[in-house]
Amino acid sequence: MDKVIIFDTTLRDGEQAAGGSLNLQEKLEIARQLERLGVDILEAGFPSSSPGDYQAVELIAKEIRHLVVCILTHAKLEAIDLSWEAVKKAEYPRIHIVLSSSEIHLVHQLKKNREQILEMSCSAVARAKKYVDDVEFSPMDASRTEPAYLYQILEAVIDAGATTVNIPDTVGYSIPDEFGSIIDGVFRNVPNIGQAVVSVHCHNDLGLAVANTLEVVRRGVRQVECTINGIGERAGNASLEEIVMAIKTRSDFFNLTTGIDTRQIYKTSRLVSELTGFSVQSNKAIVGANAFRHESGLHQDGIIKMPITYEIIDPRTVGVPSSSLVLGKLSGRHAFKERLAELGYNLGDDDFHRVFLSFKELADKKKNITDRDIESLVAEEQRSTSEVYHLDRIQVSCGDRGIPTASVILTTPDGQTQAEAAIGTGPVDAVFKAIDKIIGVPNTLIEFTVKSITEGIDAIGEVVVRIESDGTTYTGRGADTDIIVASAKAYINALNRLSINK
């Protein structure tokens, strides 16, 4: 079977989702997990866009050795030079150049004519070719570009040295059959198309990114650009896990394969969700909480008799654990360690000890501990390892006739503790105001979301907080059986990210 090349752009296009910023170590952690997942190409960032992106690309290029590390750049020659400096230590570097090609973009955004764009495209590819053999070119907004001009650009950049040409549906405008016709036209009308890999990059503005991608894979495209959980600009990108599992599950239809270790999909999805702060919707295909849950009695009967009656994918294939081992306050270290391993976590001795203590504390509050509870405990531990400020103690007084009051004690960066109290319109408002008195970083709260991780009155509650400071959005998450404590943890997590980036 032919192989479809999986080009992951979670760290570039995915991070462009509003509120999805990641720090240096978080990007590296995701990059390492993508390497374990088995993606072929990792688009690490846009180094000419900011010093932070440059540093992230430089670090990832040094650390990731078993796959192609790609950077995105616009067509200015100095940007290509700078981008090369960021990625040059990669084992397998790629330079990806993007330049608009549609009349809409040329007239209203770039203020250039077609001849100028053609010249810029070829010059940019030639400049990148001085540094690397592996050069990709994307005519932005290709799906709204006049076909004859698109063919002309593609032929020219391949002659200039491009080894991959990407056809992006930049604004998610295309319908599957229409997008397929565009690709058919490229194969028929670009004389040298056989000298390059043909790729696509589909956005999800009409909810068709995966459908468009699969349609053109069927028609001969052999590289797909996608993100974990489908995150990205506006409505997001084509979802990696949906594309990969469609190709795997319907190998009878596509007769294609990928290099993805599908058992790593669930863990990768959870990691990206945790670090970006973007929750995965419950009914999300492949990785959603309800993807392998069955409520209907008819469905349950079928699953008990033969899982394939209503499950086209074995949950274990994507890394969703299916063990029925029940953990509680009597469970020992060995049983807990086994469960962590089944969930894909391999913690060091110190980290394991801290998570096990948290597990025992939770087990005193809850009779049975679920997988999602355990994942939450691990996530809390990972968040605490990079803290600037740490929540030491919190006390709240509130009621329908009382004045909401909060007292907070934080451990500060110098290892000292500092206490403050405040009143607010509610207990969470009072807690946040007390925290602000200690940390003192101006910000605006733009989102506050609460959800239950599992069912039941004793469930862990998870809070997601987004704050804005100087035009940048920072996301924080916190989890606890006490929703006020979870709110404080989430707010401090967001403020820690803000502090680190100041």
3-state DSSP helix/strand/coil percent for the chain, to nearest 5?
45, 20, 35
Beta bridge partners of 421: 407
- Which residue bears the tokens 């955004």? 109
Q: Which fold has domain 386-501?
A: Double Stranded RNA Binding Domain (3.30.160)
Q: Tell me the pLDDT band of 371, cut-offs 50, 70 and 90.
A: confident
pLDDT digits (tens, 9 = 90+) for 278-294: 889 889 999 987 887 76
pLDDT at 138 over 50: yes
310 neighbors 300 (Cβ within 8 angstroms): no
- The pLDDT tens digits of the residues spanning 139-183 come to 999 999 999 999 999 999 999 999 999 999 999 999 999 999 999
Q: What burial letters (b/e) apply to 228-241, b meaning 16+ CB within 10 Å?
A: bbbbbbeebbbbbb
**477 neighbors 467 (Cβ within 8 angstroms):** no
Residue 45 CB coordination number (10 Å): 30
For residues 344 and 319, is the Cβ–Cβ distance under 8 A? Answer: yes
Cα separation, 438 vs 419, whole angstroms: 7
Give residues with Cβ within 8 angstroms of 58, minimum separation 6.
47, 86, 87, 89
Alpha helices (runs of H) in 47-167, residue ranges in sequence order = 51-63, 77-87, 103-105, 114-129, 147-160
Q: What token pair was written down for 339?
A: 């469960």
- Looking at the DSSP bridge assignments, the partners of residue 390 are 411
> CA-to-CA distance for 433 and 347, rounded, in angstroms?
35
Q: Are 201 and 166 in contact (CB under 8 A)?
A: yes
The pLDDT, as a whole number, for residue 302 is 66
On the question of pLDDT at 300 being above 60, the answer is no
For 17-64, the pLDDT digits (tens) are 877 778 888 899 999 999 999 999 999 999 999 898 999 999 999 999
How high is the pLDDT of residue 68? 98
Reported confidence tier of residue 246, pLDDT bands at 50, 70, 90: very high
Residues in the chain: 502
| Predicted pLDDT of residue 339 | 79
Query: Residue 198 pairs with which residues in a beta bridge?
Result: 165
DSSP for 271-322, please give it.
HHHHHH--PPPTT-TTTSTTTT---SHHHHHHHHH-GGGT-SS-GGGGT---
What pLDDT, on the 0 to 100 scale, is given for residue 341? 81
Per cent of the chain over pLDDT 70 is 95
Q: What percent of the chain is predicted at pLDDT more than 90? A: 68
- Banded pLDDT at 324 (limits 50, 70, 90): very low
Q: Which residue has the higher pLDDT, 157 or 475?
A: 157
Residue 135 and residue 172 in contact, taking contact as beta carbons nearer than 8 Å: no
For the chain, the structural domain boundaries read 2-276, 292-321, 323-382, 386-501
Q: Calculate the CA 135 to chain-centre distance.
A: 24
* Cα–Cα dist 39/92, whole Å: 13
> How far apart (Å, rounded) are the C-alpha atoms in residues 44 and 53?
8
Q: What single-letter amino acid sits at 337?
A: K
What average pLDDT does the segment 339-351 reach?
81
Q: Does 2-276 match 386-501 in CATH topology? A: no
pLDDT at 325: 52
- Please report, for the chain, how many H helices and E strands are present, in that order: 17, 16
Superfamily (CATH H level) for 2-276? Aldolase class I (3.20.20.70)
Cα–Cα distance measured from residue 35 to residue 69, given in angstroms and rounded to the nearest whole number: 10
Q: What is the mean pLDDT of the chain?
A: 91
Q: Are 154 and 165 in contact (CB under 8 A)?
A: yes
**Which among 179, 184, 220 is positioned nearest to 201, based on CA atoms?**
179
